[in-house]
Structure 1
Amino acid sequence: MSDTQRQEGELPGLPKAIRASVLAAQKKKASDVVVLDLRTAFAFTDFFVICSGLHPRQVKAIAEGIEDQLRQSGSKPAVIEGTEHSEWILLDFFDFVVHVFTPDVRKFYGLEQLWGDAERLEVDYSEMAE
């Protein structure tokens, strides 16, 4: 489906866990949510969910909210990294990886540019229905 056919705020064909991650981020007021579809280009994971929190406390709250939401549906991250400083927290669910950043750290590492060959799905999560 092309970007022009995709309705704003929809994530068609994505696994329920991806949508749950985006909604959990919404509940914690995450900003700049992007889903990168890595299925056609890379083998180690299918998707990245990337979002930002304004400060380390919010980054930690977003990551914990996502983890809690997915645990309720039986998904547990294999790896959680970055909770000590909470400027970049990574939750690895094998099929997808969630990256939660402070804005400066997100800009510094530039994952969206690094994985520029992946399809970028902009998320207007404020309009997504639960």
Structure 2
Amino acid sequence: MPADERAIELTEVAALAAATLKAEEIIALDVSERLVLTDVFVVASGSSERQVRSIVDAVEEALADHGAKPVRREGVAEARWVLLDFGDIVVHIQHAEDRVYYALERLWKDCPVIELPEEVRAGAQGDGAGQA
């Protein structure tokens, strides 16, 4: 059973919040067929620990406005790989170097990619050109 409407809604909110802070390579994977604990992984990168923390704050604030609070937060102090567990979705915000090393997309490559809003896809390219 694919991710439900609420998970997709929260995914889009989280991705848009990350995009506003210039997060890079934002993707969303529907892991609902593989995991019972969550429906979606949102993965985004920041180029510095400061940016990672800022993205974390923006995502938490945006999701709180939609009634979602994290049930677990890990890695915030180090800001290299922050995991925010909102139940329906888990947001991974990684320092760009760590993202390359751990390659979550490769580990979960069999999971369907969730199409994100155009604003996210345009910003995720890093050039702001708006191409999908």
TM-score (norm 1): 0.81
1:105 corresponds, among 98, 103, 109, to 98
For the pair 1:52 / 2:48, whether they are aligned, the reply is no
Name the CA distance, whole Å, in 1 between partners of 2:13 and 2:23.
Answer: 13
1:63 corresponds, among 46, 49, 56, to 56
Q: Is the 8 A contact 1:34 1:120 kept in 2?
A: yes
Q: CA RMSD in A?
A: 1.8
Which consecutive segments of 4 or more residues in structure 1 shift more than 6 A? none
Aligned to 2:110: 117
| TM-aligned CA deviation for residue 117 of structure 1 | 1.5
The sequence identity of aligned pairs, in percent, is 35
**Structure 1 segment 1-130 matched on structure 2, within 5 A:** 15-121=8-114, 123=116, 124=118, 125=120, 127=122
| TM-aligned CA deviation for residue 42 of structure 1 | 2.3
| Structure 1 residues not aligned, in runs of 5+ | 1-12
| Structure 2 residues not aligned, in runs of 5+ | 124-132
TM-score (norm 2): 0.80
- Matched to 1:95, the amino acid is D
- Matched to 1:65, the amino acid is A
Residue aligned with 1:42, SS = coil
Number of aligned residues: 116
